[in-house]
A and B are shown apart, each in its own frame.
Chain A
Amino acid sequence: MRLFGRLSQEQIVFGLALLLCLAFAVALPGFLTTSNILNLIRSVSILGILGVAMGLVVIGRGIDLSLVALMAVSVAWTMTLIGSGMSLAQALAIGLAFSLFIGAVNGWLVAYVEIPAIFATLAMGTLIYGFGRYFLFELDVAYMPEAARPLLWLGQGTLLGVPVPIFLFAAVCLGGYLFLRYARSGRYLRAVGDNLAAARITGVPARPIIVMQYVLASMVGYSAGIITAASVASMNTRLAISTYVYDVILVVVLGGIGLSGGKGGIRNVIVGTLLIGVLLNGMTIMDIQYTVQNVIKGVILLTAIVIDTILNPRDEQTAQQGDI
């Protein structure tokens, strides 16, 4: 046990992903080919981008349960606007503005009204979906109108033989990494997540930083939505009431970003995303039923958490604060 005692959850999950990769490569012909690996990463790149958005919030000791609902509604509204004849750029700007505004409201509720993030964003998610369904669009699925065809490249195009969503995932990861590492507000974000009171005493503008983290998440979420819409030429607003947001949290937590805040980085999101990607791809190749896939996904998640708990017992601080 001591030998493994230094392993972090990130390394454990990465190890699990490698192990699975190895097993699939031996057992499944056609798994370890360039095209399949590209396909594997492409299929989870949107999940990964959302993971970065969620990761930023969780590092700041928050959580954003309205992330997926906001993404679905703002992008569906953008599509509806384009369909009704608005120019592409203007519709995109309005959708983004709507998304940022809701993000700011989320942040304000958490930072200034001091509602726990989990309740504020849970309520906000339901509110946005209902609002969108009633006022902004009529049908569950918003199709991409002809005028929005230029966007399709973002979701379906390739660059140097590699699908574009992979580049976008990489770009978002790089952006997130640079932000957390080099931007002053990025470091403040981590400080606020680690210990709000201490950060405030040392002069960090804690409340504006909290608002910023939700605005950032909604911005990244909006771009993930545009890529989703581009990749299937439509936006399914039912995502808003599906369990997709828990998949996003799964990626974040699995990768090793603690829900108690202040820990982890973009690398954890990438590792978590890869494990999920390998799992889903392998199970689809094996033609395992969707319901069984969920069971296996759940078991793997629990295994990762159990291994982590054994190797890295709760420290004093987490024990006192609790995980959320």
Chain B
Amino acid sequence: MRLLKTGIIAATFALSAGSVLAQEGIDDPTRAPYYDSFAGKRVAYVPVAMGFDLTEGWAAGLREALEPLGMKIDVRDPNWSTDAGAQAITSLISEKPDVIVVHNPDVQSYARLLKRAEEAGIYVVQVNMRSSYSTDVFVGADYVGMGERIGQRMVDKCSPANGGSGKVAITQGVLTAAASIYQMQGIKNVLSKHPDVQLVSNQAADWDSTKAKNIAATVIQQHPDLCMITGFWDVMDVGTAAAIKESGKDVYLLTQGGGNRMACDGLSNGTYSEVVVYFVPGQARDMATMIKHLVQNGQAPGTTRTTLFTPLDFLTKDNMTAASCWDLPAKG
């Protein structure tokens, strides 16, 4: 009994001492190493060009996730010049940042440089447009799969069996971009099985809305019963939409993009019928997560290869919500 009493008293004391300690807080032992591993690390970002929704969105997302941790984001803007981009990567290899995030203009140009960067001890993350050389991380849309799903939409909407005219048209960007090549492959995979859906026009508009408009106007004029046009970028397809509107015909416009606010605006005011969205803030978060993973573990660059395909959203006026699209942060 006495022993029990002493025990209870001792326990009470111990507990109260413990709660005093708890009130003061215990340090999380993983915290310091976590922050230490990021402090002063440098991430260099080489997009195709700054100044449009995708690249600005990725930059904003990376800054938001990594800068509070003490990492530095360094943007090198080649402004649509592959040469300038290659030079930027070459000089980065000698400057040795910890990570390079690269957005490839085509599958070939940077391949050798990316290999050299990894050999020089720099992690390389590729975003959305893939190089023929795979590096530590690729984050982006599965373009072949995306093409297949778009091809399937064409069949669903336009096949004569489903009440369409069977005539579809494609407006690509530039023919050599990874986004174009892989998607065409996907679309062809599907259309080859459906001979009743006829591809009446397959043109490249150079990512330019005026060219896209002229192409669409001519195609609609030649094929008044055209059922669907699919364009490879919403920014360019503003022109396609204008041509459809002017023709007064009912042509289904399926386009794609990073899901910027403008895409949702376009859906709600009838500019686009449907937009395939690879959500840019999600991609930025994937990149940031992978960068944190690599930097914390400190493994040698090039030892692992990770691919993260971005989930795709097929947005229409009916299924979109206020949260389907994102806004660029205002420049401070």
Contacts and interface: CB of A to CB of B under 8 A. Distances in A.
A and B: interacting chains: yes
A287 B221 contact: no
Interface string B126-155: 000000000000000000000000000000
Contact of B218 (A158, A232, A236, A284): A284
B245 A156 contact: yes
Interface in A31-54: 33, 35-36, 39, 42-43, 46
Contacts of B222: 30, 36, 285
Contacts of A280: 214
B262 A143 contact: yes
Contacts of B51: 133, 138-140
B114 interface: no
Interface string A133-150: 100001111010000000
B214 A140 contact: no
A232 B56 contact: no
B203 A289 contact: yes
Interface string B47-60: 00101110010000
Contacts of B211: 290
A241 B84 CA distance: 15
Nearest to A284: B218
Nearest to A285: B222
Nearest to A242: B208
Given A133-B51, A287-B201, A139 B208 contact: no
Contacts of A155: 242
A106 interface: no
Contacts, number: 94
A29 B242 CA distance: 25
A39 B221 CA distance: 8
A280 B215 CA distance: 9
B221 A289 contact: no
Interface in A230-248: 231-234, 236, 238-239, 241-242
Contacts of B238: 143, 232-234
A291 interface: yes
Interface residues of A, number: 36
A78 to B, nearest CB: 17
Contacts of B214: 43, 280, 284
A284 B262 CA distance: 29
Given A138-B331, A287-B203, A236 B208 contact: yes
A281 interface: yes
The dominant DSSP class at the A interface is helix
Contacts of A141: 52, 209, 235
A163 interface: yes
B221 A30 contact: yes
Interface string B242-275: 1001100000000000000010000000010000
A80 interface: no
Interface residues of B, number: 40
Contacts of A232: 209-210, 212-213, 238-239, 242
A163 B215 contact: no
Given A231-B213, A238-B80, A289-B175, A140 B205 contact: no
B218 A285 contact: yes
A228 interface: yes
Contacts of A138: 51, 56, 328, 331
A284 B210 contact: no
B312 to A, nearest CB: 23
Nearest to B81: A241
Interface in A275-296: 280-281, 284-285, 287, 289-291
A226 B155 CA distance: 39
A143 B205 CA distance: 19
Nearest to A38: B221
Nearest to A290: B204
B69 interface: no
Contacts of A231: 210, 213, 242
Contacts of A140: 49, 51-52
Contacts of B49: 140
Contact of A289 (B204, B208, B235): B204
Interface in B159-173: none
A291 B203 CA distance: 10
Nearest to B265: A143
Interface string B94-132: 000000000000000000000000000000000000000
A31 B205 CA distance: 21
Nearest to A277: B214
Contacts of A158: 246
Interface string A109-142: 0000000000000000000000001000011110
Contacts of B209: 141, 232, 234, 236
A138 B207 CA distance: 18
B208 A287 contact: no
A18 to B, nearest CB: 20
B217 interface: yes
A284 B331 contact: no
Q: Nearest 7 pairs between A and B by C-beta?
A: A140-B51, A284-B218, A43-B214, A290-B204, A232-B239, A232-B209, A140-B52
12 contacts: A36-B221, A39-B217, A39-B218, A138-B51, A138-B328, A141-B52, A143-B262, A234-B235, A238-B208, A284-B215, A290-B175, A290-B204
Interface of B: 49, 51-53, 56, 79-80, 175, 200-215, 217-219, 221-222, 235, 238-239, 241-242, 245-246, 262, 271, 328, 331
Given A138-B328, A140-B49, 18 more contacts: A43-B213, A43-B217, A138-B56, A139-B51, A141-B209, A141-B235, A143-B238, A143-B262, A236-B210, A241-B79, A281-B218, A284-B201, A287-B201, A287-B202, A290-B175, A290-B203, A290-B205, A291-B204
